[in-house]
Amino acid sequence: MAKPKVFVTRIIRDAGLTLVNDFCDAEVWQGDLPPSREVMLEKVRGVDGLLCLLTDRIDGELLDAAGSQLKVVSNHAVGFDNVVVPDATARRIPVGNTPGILTDATADFTFALLMSAARRVPEAERYLRAGKWKTWGPSILLGADFVNKTLGLVGFGRIGRAVAKRAAGFDMRVIYYDRDSAPEHGATPVDSLDQLLRESDFVSLHTPLNDSTRHMVNADFLGKMKSNAILVNTSRGPVVDQDALYQALKSNQIFAAALDVTDPEPLPMDSPLLTLENCVIAPHIASASEKTRDDMARLAANNLIAGLKGERLPHCVNPDVYNPK
Ligand code: DGY
């Protein structure tokens, strides 16, 4: 029997690619950069399944270009804001994602960023490499403390909770704003975002990107933060209004920011954020540990294969496709 035809939009880790190749007749995009929209529209034509990355926009036009035989879209990410899910649901196409397995890597990296910004690690390294290190000095490159400081988590899902667990080890007080999550790891819920911003020395974002969170961090939000506060974003770039952030950092309205995600990605090299010493920026690598990326590839492959077999995806973001109204 002929194997199902699939398009894989980038070379993923062998842990997943082997599964895909064993079960499918797979075309794997070999470029280091994502396929262009034009190429995507052409490559998906006639496929039974699509394994895509967060860099690929999946919408009605693309699903229609694939054709009515398309059975599944498997997104190699936990976030799925690159997929217009209602378009997939309207066509009864299940969309898979990769929750759970990148929680620890992302929480670890959130802490790495938080500490880098607080203790000015990238700035200190630039200082050293520029030959400015002349002696030990009592007031050189002073940063922020953690013990007894308040960490405010905006969103208390899996990753937020894993960050709270780490913060407990640093003797931090942890508060969170998320109406849907029960307390864990000693973290306390607050009634409003305003209260969280008023009380937090560190504010870390753990919300999905959607219409209500796009540019949630704007001038008003930043204006409510403490002047010593540090903002950390490992969620999605567009949650932050970068112009407002630039103004807040430039004027020292807040102490620093640390971003793993930007808007757009990659961040243009002429972004004003890159001129600031108090802004640490990483190229969207919070989940970039070997084991995590292997697990993501494996889960993305398993979602794809389940969809091709007509089985329920292990992780489906639009389960409505299984219970049509
Ligand atoms: C995800 O899976 O959504 C992450 O942003 C990738 O690191």
Question: Prior bond to 99 cis, omega within 30?
Answer: no
Same domain, 125 and 273: yes
287 lines ligand 1 (CB under 6 A): yes
Residue 324 has pLDDT above 90, yes or no: no
Q: Is 215 a catalytic residue?
A: no
**How far is Cα of residue 307 from the mean position of the Cα atoms in its chain?**
25
When pLDDT is cut at 50, 70 and 90, the band that residue 307 belongs to is very high
**How far is Cα of residue 278 from the mean position of the Cα atoms in its chain?**
21
Find the 131 Cα to ligand 1 centroid distance in Å: 37
Residue 148 has pLDDT above 80, yes or no: yes
CA dist 97 and 189 (Å) reads 28
Same domain, 147 and 250: yes
Which CATH number is 47's domain given? 3.40.50.720
Final residue belonging to a domain, choices 281, 298, 313: 281
State the chain's mean pLDDT as an integer. Answer: 97
Rounded average pLDDT over 291-306: 98
When pLDDT is cut at 50, 70 and 90, the band that residue 105 belongs to is very high
For residues 210 and 81, is the Cβ–Cβ distance under 8 A?
yes
CA dist 160 and 179 (Å) reads 13
85 lines ligand 1 (CB under 6 A): no
The whole domain housing 233 covers: 103-281
Same domain, 95 and 140: no
Best residue among 158, 210, 236, 287 to mutate for probing ligand 1's pocket (most ligand atoms within 8 Å of CB) is: 287
* CA-proximal residue: ligand 1, atom 4 (nearest): 77
CA dist 154 and 224 (Å) reads 14
Same domain, 254 and 153: yes
pLDDT more than 90, % of the chain:
99
CA dist 256 and 115 (Å) reads 11
Rounded average pLDDT over 288-312: 98
Which tokens go with 11?
């070379």
Predicted confidence (pLDDT) per residue in 41-71, tens digit: 999 999 999 999 999 999 999 999 999 999 9
Find the 74 Cα to ligand 1 centroid distance in Å: 13
Q: Is 284 a catalytic residue?
A: yes
When pLDDT is cut at 50, 70 and 90, the band that residue 234 belongs to is very high
Same domain, 300 and 204: no
Same domain, 202 and 249: yes
Q: Residue 1 has what pLDDT? A: 83
Predicted confidence (pLDDT) per residue in 280-293, tens digit: 999 999 999 999 99
HEC readout, 29-91: CCCCCCCCHHHHHHHCCCCCEEEECCCCCECHHHHHHHCCCCCEEEECCCCCCCECHHHHHHC
Predicted confidence (pLDDT) per residue in 5-21, tens digit: 999 999 999 999 999 99
Predicted confidence (pLDDT) per residue in 172-208, tens digit: 999 999 999 999 999 999 999 999 999 999 999 999 9
Same domain, 294 and 246: no
Same domain, 238 and 157: yes
Q: How many domains does the chain have?
A: 2
Q: What residue type is 298 in one-letter code?
A: R
Same domain, 93 and 25: yes
Name the H helices within 67-224.
Answer: 85-90, 103-118, 121-129, 158-168, 193-199, 219-223
When pLDDT is cut at 50, 70 and 90, the band that residue 325 belongs to is low
Residue 323 has pLDDT above 90, yes or no: no
Q: Residue 193 has what pLDDT? A: 98
Rounded average pLDDT over 126-152: 98
For ligand 1, what atom is nearest to the CA of residue 288?
Answer: 7
Same domain, 95 and 218: no
For residues 117 and 258, is the Cβ–Cβ distance under 8 A?
yes
Same domain, 49 and 143: no
Question: Which among 207, 13, 234 has a CA at the least distance from the CA of 105?
Answer: 234
Rounded to two decimals, the pTM is 0.96
Same domain, 54 and 97: yes
Best residue among 81, 98, 106, 239 to mutate for probing ligand 1's pocket (most ligand atoms within 8 Å of CB) is: 106
CA dist 165 and 298 (Å) reads 27
